[in-house]
Chains A and B, each alone.
Chain A
């Protein structure tokens, strides 16, 4: 390398694609990025976030010292000893007084598998609570719930490498080129090799502009169009009935419902012209290899789990599953949301999707943890604010999450957090959530820690420490271990590889993986033994991970979203992200080039609606729902259809989740972030 510099290969910190690149290090500072041509996913490509990822790490806003809120209500710097003693003491006191179920713990899909494993052990063994959750609740909870029931495994069925051999690619509810650009790159390669692209999305996203067919449906009508596809496919004899007979159950019940969704019915519900629906259904069904990709546009609905069932039905009815370049492929949002889910940073599970009520599993964990994990099922993070308000939960321990920005109906969660007896937040930057914390603990950032991330295609990859952390910031796993030790539970971990070995020993899907094996290249789980090569695609030859080995059809019906536009609130509000920002912006807004690209909040509005309201691009508009109002600049664009506006949740200047509705999918407990009703007003200058 250039004199005075060294390179450290690591996995990207942003989305779930799992690109790898080298960090350039000079004088203990990250000074740039060098792409890796040899990495099987990124192949020398990166998005702008990846290229500039290193810039947030040294930002002066980083949390550097432990802090405790003093009697004046201000956060005051203290020593680690004092902070750790205080946290352990308060948690023990609350546990003694109210029981372990009064404490909830939030993990983080930005942190490593090792951090999350230690957090899970801390919650379930040291504290004894199952109120453990993380942001997967807000993204793919419905995927995990849905695909686990349909196929027996709640993850991407196929791998990124297989995309370029697909003949048809169906993208729905995923703005792939902005949110998973390098996966979009694999799709572009497939298109160059003759593949056809169908995009089903209410917005005319960039991938829709190059699609062979773009179906723009009304937000919240996914089940209708998917059932419509099935209707066309079965009626036209395009279904793979051999596959259905030999490898699935429940087809008849599903068909009883799907047969009602004729193209005419679907057109009336979704607004998709029936000719287009038929053409797209034929295209998907008649391909030899067709892959479905989806993301938040499918999952963040009250019908999120049912939407996922519907997609699984569609893949099974055509036999597009269990073979290379097919399948149902949820694109996981966070760099390590797959890993955090694998590690059971969700209630009601143990690491490796194991059942906490199974006596053998309980014994296995008790042997390592010293106590049996709780057998009851805890709250989802979206239920915690209600649980705080009704007095069930008294303390929350948060590792690297910012629920006060990311959860729906912000006012409600703010009110709840104000009522907490004890809130600990360990993070890398001050956030809206640290404003409510009694203790703030500074953690190491990506680039400063060793460990592993598991990407969206289940590949476990190394993350490496390149620079020392600022001041007194410490690794998340170390902080939690120190709190646990003070609570009388010593894990004895000295480095992340020891943690990995312990978790792999408890999780059959990871048990063949070790740091030595993934030093050069990651391995996709399941990997049950040290000589197993890993599993690029699941359900080979139609053998599903369900108890009877068959895929399961679920009949699902369209139901209207909980809040539809009406006279008072005449617009659909749908929310999402832009390519250059990440979630609540605590990292991306501290990176110059990302912030420069999109420096302020905006609301997309269709040109015809804009004309009616007298609004032009750049005008300030006020967007109000039944829960609140925010102001932002209008962006007049044909990306959105008439009657729909779109905005993002990145900006504290216009926190869009003030407007969204806190109604949950009854199965996955994911909130309806994609559909709420709003009205738009132009803000007059000098008013």
Chain B
């Protein structure tokens, strides 16, 4: 389903969602110049919004820290933010959501904590028109338009908003708006796509060639930033913090030595080279990377995906 809306009609859709009990979040710059989600219906779409540095969309379904079990009452705890309509998600993050959905809902087990929050989430992604800092989303098939992970995807076409429905709830919400010309959208998409770099993805694969891996390992200072900000990282650790009758589930990072350590201090991957290899197997071998570029923005050692691309592809 492809519809055509004015900005006011987009706001009507958001108001409808509010009426359905959703808290609407939209991108806004705060007083310090950082992009942080704000609650309410936006007056206008912020043209200069690149993406959030922090992956707030992931955070809603997969909080970096959440209580999961009460050890005093011996019952599970379900942490939730309530019903959220996330307006202005970037396509890479919507795609990432599809990856985490696959991991937490469709593989070996269904994670009830994730599932509850996911059901309460309505995602309105907005297609990108310019590549953002360090991104290579087109190469990874996650941008500038998402193929999955959204309820509605909006395209800013010629002063209007073309709306693509990605779920039944979205189709219902958009039903009464006029249809859009799919051919026109295709033309627009073609034009926009040309602005985004495309690398030879077949070269970006595991195992990482060892000179590249060594270069990256020497520059990784184990801050974990690439993982704390990765919209597709799914690893976690469970523990009971001292003094609390609660088990918490926390995001964990595979570039920390403690992640790989076993009893008596033995390690599955004792060196940074091995940890780095492990991470790239996950990100590129399995395909859990959307090319959002956050890891490169936050990397202290300039040793994240941008360095990997440069080293692997050379001058391409």
Contact = CB atoms under 8 A, between A and B. Distances in A.
Interface stretch (A43-51, A552-560, A608-616): A43-51
A44 B297 contact: yes
Given A2-B56, A35-B54, A177-B301, A592 B241 contact: yes
Contacts of B256: 48, 593, 596-597
Contacts of B299: 45, 185
Contacts of B39: 1, 3
Report, as a range, how many residues of chain A touch the other chain: 35 or more
Contact of B239 (A35, A45, A184, A592): A592
B302 interface: yes
Contact of B36 (A1, A61, A618): A1
Contact of B218 (A4, A44, A210, A597): A210
A34 B54 contact: yes
Interface string B223-262: 1110011000000000101111000001001001110010
Interface in A158-208: 177-178, 181-182, 184-185, 188-189, 192, 206
B77 interface: no
Contact of B265 (A31, A37, A192, A618): A618
Interface string A419-447: 00000000000000000000000000000
Given A34-B54, A46-B225, A184-B300, A2 B218 contact: no
A642 interface: no
Interface in A483-510: none
A597 B219 CA distance: 18
A534 B253 CA distance: 39
Interface residues of B, number: 50
A2 B301 contact: no
Contacts of B60: 2
B23 interface: yes
A181 B298 contact: no
Contacts of B25: 2
A564 interface: no
Chain A, interface SS category: mixed
Nearest to B244: A60
Contact of A38 (B32, B244, B301): B32
A183 B297 CA distance: 15
B223 A47 contact: yes
B84 interface: yes
Contact of A45 (B56, B81, B300): B300
Given A3-B81, A3-B82, A192 B59 contact: no
A59 B38 CA distance: 31
A32 B65 contact: yes
Nearest to A55: B241
Contacts of A593: 224, 253, 256, 258
A90 interface: no
Contacts of B38: 1
Contacts of B176: none
A324 B241 CA distance: 47
Contacts of B59: 2
B13 interface: no
A64 to B, nearest CB: 12
A60 B242 contact: yes
A7 interface: yes
Contacts of B30: 7
Given A32-B65, A48-B256, A59 B242 contact: yes
Contacts of A188: 219, 300-302
Contact of A36 (B32, B223, B228, B265): B32
Given A51-B228, A184-B300, A206-B221, A37 B53 contact: yes
A189 to B, nearest CB: 7
B300 A210 contact: no
Interface in B17-50: 23, 25, 30-39
A485 to B, nearest CB: 34
Contacts of A48: 222-224, 256
Nearest to B222: A48
A248 to B, nearest CB: 37
A53 B300 CA distance: 17
A634 interface: no
B219 A47 contact: no
Nearest to B84: A3
B243 A60 contact: yes
A48 B224 CA distance: 6
B41 to A, nearest CB: 15
B263 to A, nearest CB: 13
Interface in A396-437: none
Interface in B125-160: none
A44 B53 contact: yes
Given A3-B84, A37-B53, A44-B297, A181 B223 contact: yes
Given A37-B297, A596-B258, A520 B243 contact: no
A181 B300 contact: yes
27 contacts: A2-B37, A22-B36, A31-B65, A35-B53, A37-B53, A38-B34, A45-B223, A45-B297, A45-B298, A45-B300, A46-B223, A47-B221, A47-B223, A48-B223, A48-B224, A48-B256, A59-B242, A60-B244, A177-B300, A178-B221, A182-B300, A185-B302, A206-B221, A210-B219, A579-B221, A592-B241, A597-B256
Interface of A: 1-4, 7, 9, 22, 31-32, 34-39, 44-48, 50-51, 59-61, 177-178, 181-182, 184-185, 188-189, 192, 206, 209-210, 520, 579-580, 590, 592-593, 596-597, 618
Given A46-B298, A60-B242, A597-B222, 17 more contacts: A2-B60, A7-B36, A9-B32, A31-B63, A34-B36, A45-B223, A45-B298, A46-B225, A50-B223, A51-B223, A51-B225, A60-B244, A185-B299, A593-B224, A593-B256, A597-B256, A618-B265
Interface of B: 23, 25, 30-39, 53-54, 56, 59-60, 63-65, 81-82, 84, 218-219, 221-225, 228-229, 239, 241-244, 250, 253, 256-258, 261, 265, 297-302
